[in-house]
Amino acid sequence: MKRDNDRQTAIILSIVGIVPVIWLSLLIAPSISGGLPEIAANLATLFDNPFSIKLCGDSLKTVLILLLCYGMGIGIYFSTRKNYRRREEHGSAKWGNVRAIDKKYRQKPLSENKLMTQNVCIGLNAKKHRRNLNTLVCGGSGAGKTRFYAKPNIMNAARNSYVILDPKGEILRDTGHLLEKKGYEVRVLDLISMEKSHCYNPFVYLQNDNDVQKLVTNLFKSTTPKGSQSNDPFWDTAASMLLLALVFYLHYEAPPEEQNFAMVMEMLRAGAIEDEDDPSPSPLDNLFSDLMIDNPDHIALKYYHSYHSGSSKTLKSIQITLAARLEKFNLESLAALTSADELDLQSLGEKKVALFALIPDNDSSFNFLVSILYTQLFQQLFYAADHIHGGCLPMPVHFMMDEFANGVTRSTPKTVGITDKSVA
């Protein structure tokens, strides 16, 4: 675009400027032999009679000289429009200066910064320095990722909430009391010792039909072993339809205290098919039959009828597939942990909260719950930012994911990089 504009400008200057240059050349040609003094002496007389042009032996020479000067002037004009970066022909890369970098990005006081190194900080207000706050720390075992990055930043916390993935509970043990002294409300999803954990019930954060769909999809992805591929996706698809029917029923029809995965398992057991050859309606079938009478357009019925369209043998296989996906919720400890909710995820963007997710470093059996937590946490924070707080959370939320690969599944949202809502 710039090259086209330069070409148009050159054409205009050539057309408009050549005629006056030729006129001026012919006008001063008779005086050119006397040099500049004669031209200056006769200039006033020449301009009094601007069209009194006399051709002489110097006319052609004068025209060529002035046209050459005019052309050189146009060339100089266009050369000044380019960025030549003088004295940088071999590159301008150089080693950064620690003090200069720190001065550029640091904010006052120190608690308003993320600690990058011992001498370099970056302010938490990304709008000032126009850099996002996402940080990837790579290093082998014992390199100091937790000791020299995670812990110093958590201990420096003053005005933002934290979500901390904590294998083995080391960070909670070393920083939990300090955060409480700083006025933080500390909440813990403990998948190592579940009896000590705060309760987390994903059903509490289901606001609409889309949230139900996301929960079921996330659960199936999170419980699929990495690298596994099913030759026949029918069974997983059918099992997800049955789970959608059960979750939709609980979401819209059950009292709040029954909206949890323990009740999903109860409903699944109530729908068990005992005799494949002579099936009789199960208590679950009767439950949905009553719903058919009360509300035939209920969304739970649509999924239940889709699941229930097969033979008794097929339905039993679908139930077994779903039971295998949800088998962890048969454990009393996990059923109790997900029976109620004490995490209040939306409040992380409104007040100082430190939420720790403790996972075993040698067992990934329950990591699917952390994946569901991340998904719902992002949804809650983004919803609060967009619909309650005008696009930006009043309390910035920072995710500190130690040993990230150990707690992440394929369903972990791709929204970790979003910072314009004060989430990083």
Greater confidence, 334 or 413?
334
Q: Rounded distance, CA 396 to CA 162, Å?
A: 9
Q: Rounded distance, CA 62 to CA 41, Å?
A: 18
Q: Rounded distance, CA 151 to CA 175, Å?
A: 7
Q: Rounded distance, CA 147 to CA 188, Å?
A: 20
Q: Are residues 158 and 184 in the same domain?
A: yes
Domain assignment of residue 423, yes or no: no
Domain assignment of residue 290, yes or no: yes
Q: Are residues 117 and 140 in the same domain?
A: no
Domain assignment of residue 90, yes or no: no
Q: Are residues 103 and 116 in the same domain?
A: yes
Residue 108 has pLDDT above 70, yes or no: yes
Q: Are residues 316 and 372 in the same domain?
A: no
Q: Rounded distance, CA 16 to CA 20, Å?
A: 8
Assess contact for 295 and 253: CB atoms under 8 A: no
Q: Are residues 15 and 74 in the same domain?
A: yes
pLDDT score of 89: 67
Domain assignment of residue 86, yes or no: no
What DSSP letter does each residue of 233-289 carry, written as one string? THHHHHHHHHHHHHHHHHHHHS-GGG-SHHHHHHHHHHT--S-SSS----HHHHHHH
Domain residues for the domain of 124 are 97-131
Q: Are residues 11 and 70 in the same domain?
A: yes
pLDDT score of 411: 46
Q: How far is CA 101 from CA 88, 104, 155, 300, 397, in A?
A: 22, 5, 23, 57, 25
Q: From 18, 52, 17, select the one nearest 42 (Cα to Cα).
A: 52
Q: Are residues 168 and 261 in the same domain?
A: no
Q: Rounded distance, CA 224 to CA 143, Å?
A: 32
pLDDT score of 23: 78
Domain assignment of residue 84, yes or no: no
Q: Are residues 300 and 381 in the same domain?
A: no
Q: Given pLDDT bands bounded at 50, 70 and 90, which one contains residue 3?
A: low
Q: Are residues 59 and 123 in the same domain?
A: no
Q: Are residues 240 and 193 in the same domain?
A: no
Domain assignment of residue 362, yes or no: yes
Amino acid identity of 149? Y
Assess contact for 203 and 260: CB atoms under 8 A: yes
Strand ranges of the sheet holding 185-190, from the earlier edge strand across to the other edge: 185-190, 353-359, 161-167, 397-401
Q: Given pLDDT bands bounded at 50, 70 and 90, which one contains residue 287?
A: very high
Domain assignment of residue 123, yes or no: yes
Q: Are residues 327 and 385 in the same domain?
A: no
pLDDT score of 1: 52
Look up residue 186 and give its DSSP letter. E
Q: Are residues 323 and 262 in the same domain?
A: yes
Domain assignment of residue 89, yes or no: no
Number of domains in the chain: 4
